[in-house]
Amino acid sequence: MNYCNYSIIRLFIALLIGMITSCKAQDLPRILTDDQIKQANYLPDYSYAGYKNGEKTIPEDGIVYLATDYGGYC
């Protein structure tokens, strides 16, 4: 390899290191970090929403009731 190829490789490695070190996670929103805002704005926890708190799958067997049979409409 000649000097030009080594220079290109060094430049590539320097750019790669620069990109890796400059990446960071997003900052948390103020509603999660500022105590005064947290007190004024209730943020509900939906992590357990769903059938059986989202911990079990909806059963596929059983009786199916149609709302239209009982006066419901679409």
pLDDT tens by residue, 7-30:
888 888 888 887 777 666 677 788
pLDDT greater than 70 at residue 2: no
Reference 28, options 40, 18, 43; nearest CA is 43
Distance of alpha carbon 10 from alpha carbon 16, whole angstroms: 10
pLDDT at 3: 63
In the chain, domain spans:
3-70
Q: What is the pLDDT of residues 26-61, one digit of tens each?
A: 777 887 888 888 888 887 888 888 888 888 888 888
pTM of the model: 0.29
Distance of alpha carbon 63 from alpha carbon 17, whole angstroms: 60
Give me the residue label for tokens 């070190």: 21
